[in-house]
Amino acid sequence: MGSTSGENENNGTAGVGRRDLIRRSAALGLISVPAMGFLSACASGGGSDDNSSGNDQGKTSKSNPFGAKKGTKLDVVIFKGGYGDDYAKAWEADFAKDPGITSTHTGTQEITGKLQPRFNAGNPPDIVDDSGAQQIKVDVLYKNGQLLDLAPVLDAPSVDDPGKKVRDMLIPGTLDPGIQEGKVVALNYIYTVWGLWYSGKLFKDKGWEPPKTWDDFIKVCQAAKKDGIGGLAHQGKYPYYINVAIMDMIAKKGGLDAVKAIDNLDPKAFVGSDAAQAGVEAIYEVVEKGLLMPGTNGLTHTESQTRWNQYKAAFITCGSWLENEQLKQTPADFDMKFLPMPLLPGSKMPFEAIRAGSGEPFIIPAKAKNLPGAKEFMRHMLSKEWSTLFAKEANSLTILKDGVDASVKLRPGTQSTVEASKAAGDNTFRYLYPDWYSEMDTAIQNASNELMAKRIQPKEWLKRCQAAVDKQAKDPASKKNRHE
């Protein structure tokens, strides 16, 4: 080729080349889209084959009902929150010795971030403590068919007494919050009581008596206010906490019927319910009389609980994780004490009645690789040995009846919850709607936040809550949940 023609060609192709390039790259884009679709179909649709229990299935025997196989691996994910994750490490060390299954341990607060992709891809861990602010809601997981029905574990022989089933060794009612549509799919492992908390030292110094009636409660708050401190503190940035107090007042006033009316989405759960009205008006009395700790509506849980530890308020509302959560902030002579919600006149439940139940859901994913190992792990969790390990490491009780060795000395707050739940006996109650209906729960919490800030009155609160209930009742799926 001559140089002239070459130049010409170059000039010519420069233009064509650009256009060509654009055309071809567009074509490339068109090809690559379906190609990627193919690839990602592999990525997101995989794992649907039921290949569990394949190689990890060993021989079953009396002491090994699921056939957990020595030398296999278990993938354990633990929510590392108020209770830490040392207890789980102690369990895993024991599990490596006894059935001889070693665990990969993940302690994290980001349950959703770490696990949502794994659930979607079909390679979830073997056992998960699905808790904390970033938990994957159990109702959501269940609806996606990701949870194993735990009945085989609960019907297996107990580690401590092989003559009995595991489920007969537990505190009655503690399995209920893990039920979705009649099946236990989450094991709520930690036994929690909810109510008011106060400092034994502060009350002794001031000469106050722990109140049993709502009138006495208001009087203590007023005395506190006179002394320049707040009456009631709550963790306002998370309306969950004050909402617990309101709902507990309703439950104690109206009895279990009031609780069930709300859980079962009764058209008169709030509006038209005397108990609901009395309960919310009682809490609003605290707001109206200015007995809240100043500014508490906007404080986070740590901020308000620390203020309370500094004797800036007489009471705070919380569950029994409070003591472990505040270990570092609590003065040595604080003498933390638990108090059931005080009683309104004409209440259907006695003063000793408390919201009590199990929290911290442990789940076994339906697509777990080592199902026998996971089931065996859970069976061990419900043994006295592991329950005691938990109490030692995390300062809390488990759902195992009489589950702590007498040799373990409890801290004052935890000790007072043990006494309170003994006094309560069968007088415990528990709402199930927060585990079933996240959206309705949010709407009720939102109304409570407005109530505490005095932007709405009890009447409007009742209306809003009823609207949330009615909205939820329209969802056909809600018919399958029943609080009996």
Partner 1 sequence: MRKGQYRFVAGFLFIPVLLYVVFVIWPYIQTFGYSLTDWKGQSQTFNFVGLDNYKALFQDDVFMAAIWHNLQFLVFIPVITILLALFFAFMLNAGGRSRAGGVQGVAGSKFYKVVYFFPQVLSLAILAVLFNAVYRSDGGGLLNGFLIKIHLVDPNNPIEWLNEPNVVLWALMVAVIWQGVGFYLVLFSAAMQSIPKDIYEAALIDGANRNQSFFRITLPLLWDTVQTAWVYLGIIAMDMFVLVSSMTQNMGAYGGGPDHHSDVMATVMMRNFLYYGKSGYACAMGVIMLLLTLVLSVFTLRVTRRERIEF
CB of 71 or CB of 298, closer to partner 1: 298
Nearer to partner 1, 18 or 204 (CB): 18
Give the tokens for residue 296: 């508490």
Minimum distance, C-beta of residue 131 to partner 1, in the bound complex (Å): 14
Are the CB atoms for 270 and 276 separated by under 8 Å? Answer: yes
Residue 23 vs 204, nearer CB to partner 1: 23
With respect to partner 1, which residue has the nearer C-beta, 202 or 229?
Answer: 229
Comparing CA positions, the residue from 321, 295, 326 lying closest to residue 233 is 295
The binding site for partner 1 (CB under 8 A) comprises 6, 9-10, 13, 17, 20-21, 24-25, 28-29, 32-33, 36-37, 40, 44-45, 48, 112, 116, 119-120, 122, 133, 136-137, 139-141, 143-146, 236-240, 290, 293-300, 303, 307, 438-439, 441-442, 445-446, 449-450, 453, 455
**Minimum CB–partner distance for residue 133 and partner 1 (Å):** 7
Task: State in angstroms the smallest separation of the CB of 99 from partner 1.
Answer: 30
Q: How far is the CB of 20 from partner 1 (least distance, A)?
A: 8
In the complex with partner 1, the residue whose CB is nearer, 17 or 71, is: 17
Residue with smaller CB distance to partner 1, 146 or 158: 146
Judged by CB, which is closer to partner 1: 285, or 335? 285
**Nearest distance from residue 273's CB to partner 1, in Å?**
23
Largest CA distance in the chain: 110
- 183's tokens: 């099946």
Nearer to partner 1, 196 or 233 (CB): 233
Q: Read off the tokens for 33.
A: 């889209």
Helix axes 274-288, 458-473, angle to 10 degrees: 140
Closest to partner 1 by CB, 9 vs 155, is: 9
